[in-house]
Each structure stands twice: as C-alpha cells, then as structure tokens.
A and B are shown apart, each in its own frame.
Chain A
C-alpha cells in the first residue's frame, strides 16, 4: 500500500514531466492499439479475401408492396464457384416475410360480410373477421414466412457436353416443397449452337391452417381434412444460337404436369341470388390435374458498344383453358467506361380465364364440370410492368476483384376484363378491383 505513493513521488515533483509521460504513454498505447487493430483488421480482411477469392456472391434485398394488401421483404443470397476443370457449383438462400391482407375469393357486397379466419370453425366468436359493405373481402391477418435453399452443380462431361443437376427445398408453416432437376447441354457448330434438355420433379406438401377444405363443400360446414400433396414433373427442350457477332437467340419449349390437391385452401366463392344478395359460400374446387405447355423465345442484341436489348416472348396454354401471352423488353445503356448502366424495362402480359373460373355462383346455376373457382389469378386480365435499374461498378472482394451495386424499382398493374353480367343488386360496386404493386430492390454482387 505504501509503495505506490513513494513510487509516484519523483513524478509528482515535476508536473511537466508527468504530462509528457502521460502523453507518451497515450501515444504508445494508441500506436500499439492501432497497430493491433490494423493487424486484426488485416487478418480479418485476409481471411475474408481467402474465403472469397474463388467465389462469386450475388445478393439482393427486395421489398414488395400491394395497394392495401400484401407486403413482403425478401433477402436473397447466391454464391457460386467455377473450378479449373470447368465445373461450377452454386448455392442460394431465400427468405420471405409476408404480411397484410389477402383476398379470400368472396364477392364484394352492399352488406357487411363475416368470415371465419383459417383456424376458425364458426362464423361467430373470436376467430372471425368482418368486411365492410362495398369492400373487397380480404383476410386481414395474413402472414407467412418462407425459407428456401437451393443448389446446382454443373460439370463438363466432354468438350462439348455438360451435365447439370440441382435441387431446392422450400418451407413455410403451411407448405413444403422439394424439387430436383437435371439437364444436359450439347454444343456444336463451333459452339454457336447449344441444344439442351432438362427434366424436373417437384413434390409439394400442403398443411393448411385449420385443415384442407373438401373442394366445393359448404363454407359454413367447415369440412376439412388433414394435409394434402401435389406432384409435378416438367420437361424443357431448348436451343441457343449465336446468330451474329451482336445477336444471340434462345428458344425453349416446355411441358409440365401437376397432379394432386391443386386448390388454394383459403379461397371461397360467393353464391348470389337473382337480386344480387349473397346467400352463402363454397370452397373452391379445381381439377386435380393440370398440364401446361409453353414456348419461350428470347433475343439479345447489342446495337452499339453502349446500347443493347433483350426481348422475350412467351406463349402458354394449359388444359384448364388458360392462354397467356407475355412480352418483355429490357434496354440497357452503359457508360462511364462501362462502369455504370441504366436499364429500363417494360412487360406486357395477358391471360384468358380458366374454364371453371367464375367470379360468383348464381343460386340457380350448377357447374357442368363440378369445378369452380373465383380466384382472380385464374380470371381474365392483362398486366403491365414498368421498371428501371441502375447499377455501378466498384472495387470489391471475391473472384472477380470488382463489385456491382444496384437499385431497381418496378411498378406492376393488373386490370381485369371479366365480362360476366352483374345482377342488379350488385350494380355500383367495384367487383373486380385491379392490383397495383411496387417492387424496390437493392443488390450487391462481387
């Protein structure tokens, strides 16, 4: 205890020396700590660079918002590596968090309507919600989260052939999906032409909240069973052709077939009397099989060193009588020594309705097929998307030694073309409100 004062005495006699010594110590500490921090930071940087030197990373964070309905946040990370032998490995992770209000399929009415939430078993009590007159019936407490992981491995098997296999798992609290796929590609004609063929198999398990409704059953009886499944197989045949030094084209034909429980377990259809009054609801009932065919054609053309376009056309038809046309144009303008680009895009989409689509069931009519759905996604509509993306290249870690940051915005608008006669009692209501949505995204890849 007495040593400390004695040891301090000489220093205490000289205030200037004390200050100088403290400053010297502080400086030494600062130098040492800075050196240590630099060393630690350098080690961390070296470790990160060592880990990333062979990998490319692509990441994005997307925010999606509909007018008065659903909103979602979706972060995505994709990492890939190309090996010296030409093989490539890829992994990706996606997370979705959705919340908001989801249309339940019932028709807007001049009177208030009360519905049971998915877990409810009665139209009274706490597990219900009421839609005000003139409003589109929506489940106001919709929320869900999804985690999906996927991987893909591509390996050259000869100088002109390569094999690719992949898989994906996706999990939500009421849905699980597992997909495997494999494809083979063959180059010929001086690698100007590539033919590819792929197959995919998907298994889905549905575990709807409250159970899976019996298709077409009375909504008030709550006839529900346990989980359901559906399976899908798909095949895709494609050709890619280098047309000229500035023009690349791709054409794909694909077929897919899904079987099993293809209903949306949360969708109902209103039963309307001749005056337009709602007399009840039934759960939707879709066929248990669907076969889709599609043709897809894409052309990429470089018009100059700065301007290029990507134009794609798609036609799809299925055995539910849905026909759709899609056209999308991307226009990319690069400048600043190719360090920046801006890419406006426009997409036009049109679909006809499924043969069992009906916005409501008239009390007097019966469906000839036994199938019905008022799900607007199976109805007739057209949609437009306007978007723009801006990207800037920077220095960065990873295999490329550079990085790119980007921001992207899109506006999506659906307009319905339902031509079903409206009963007098429903006049003046907006029965088929369209959909307006925005998508905002930031991205970083290196």
Chain B
C-alpha cells in the first residue's frame, strides 16, 4: 500500500462525509456502543506509548497517530 492508495480510500470516506449521506453519523441517543471503552481512539494510552517507544528505537518510522518525535536519544 502506498500513500496514494491510502489517500484514495480516505477520499472516498471524506466524500461520503461531505456529501452528508444520511446513513453516516448517529443521533445523540445512539451513542451507546460508541461510548464503550474499546471504541475510544485513545484507549490504552500507556500501551501505545510503550509500544511507540519500542518501535521508535528499532525502526525508521514513527508517528502517524500523533506527532513523530520521540523525545528519546535511542534513535
């Protein structure tokens, strides 16, 4: 997969959002499932931080989900 393909997929998602398609999104009273812990994008922040530190020190890539800097002299 390259940046072009990923961007293409996201453009489709974005176009659907912008078009205001009626099936996208929920009403406030339909957020029960989205309120679950496992549906939070920032669930398990320490697991992510510890994993990111490991990958930052062993790979040439970092970031994506958040900023790429590591604040660590390990790479």
Contact = CB atoms under 8 A, between A and B. Distances in A.
A338 B17 CA distance: 32
Interface stretch (A4-12, A109-117, A311-319, A421-429): A311-319
Nearest to A176: B73
Interface string A249-276: 1111010100000001000000000000
Given A60-B46, A389-B47, A441-B47, A256 B64 contact: no
Contacts of B24: 192, 241-244
Nearest to B9: A297
Contacts of B25: 189-190, 192-193, 241-243
Question: Which among B10, B27, B31, B55 has the highest number of chain A CB atoms within 10 Å?
Answer: B10
Contacts of A300: 38-39, 41
B1 A232 contact: no
Contacts of A192: 24-26
A358 interface: no
Interface residues of B, number: 52
Question: Which among B1, B14, B70 has the highest number of chain A CB atoms within 10 Å?
Answer: B1
Interface in B5-41: 6-7, 9-10, 13-14, 17, 20, 23-28, 30-34, 36, 38-39, 41
Interface stretch (A17-25, A28-36, A167-175): A167-175
B1 A315 contact: yes
A209 to B, nearest CB: 11
A313 B39 contact: no
A312 to B, nearest CB: 7
B68 A234 contact: yes
Contacts, number: 204
Nearest to A200: B67
Contacts of B39: 248, 300, 302, 308
Interface stretch (A43-51, A215-223, A287-295): A287-295
Contacts of A302: 33, 36, 38-39
A298 B36 CA distance: 17
B64 A435 contact: no
Interface in B56-75: 58-61, 63-75
Nearest to B43: A310
Given A76-B49, A256-B63, A244 B26 contact: yes
A294 B72 contact: no
A186 interface: no
Contacts of A354: 60
Contacts of A334: 38
Contacts of A98: 74
A439 interface: yes
Interface in A313-336: 313-318, 320, 322-326, 332, 334
A298 B69 contact: no
A245 interface: yes
B18 to A, nearest CB: 9
B33 A256 contact: no
B61 to A, nearest CB: 4
A101 B33 CA distance: 47
A252 B65 contact: yes
A414 interface: yes
A172 B73 contact: yes
Contacts of B63: 234, 254, 256, 292, 294, 316
A355 B20 CA distance: 44
B41 A298 contact: yes
B46 A234 contact: no
Nearest to A170: B71
Given A241-B13, A308-B39, A334-B38, A443 B60 contact: no
B50 A242 contact: no
Given A324-B61, A332-B38, A441-B47, A256 B69 contact: yes
13 contacts: A64-B54, A76-B50, A146-B72, A172-B73, A190-B27, A192-B26, A246-B34, A252-B65, A254-B63, A298-B41, A320-B60, A323-B2, A334-B38
Interface of B: 1-3, 6-7, 9-10, 13-14, 17, 20, 23-28, 30-34, 36, 38-39, 41, 45-47, 49-51, 53-55, 58-61, 63-75
Nearest first, the 5 closest Cβ-Cβ pairs linking A and B are: A175-B73, A192-B25, A296-B64, A170-B71, A314-B64
Given A200-B69, A378-B60, 19 more contacts: A60-B46, A78-B46, A177-B69, A177-B71, A177-B73, A181-B67, A191-B28, A239-B17, A241-B24, A241-B25, A246-B34, A256-B69, A308-B38, A315-B2, A316-B64, A324-B59, A334-B38, A377-B59, A383-B59
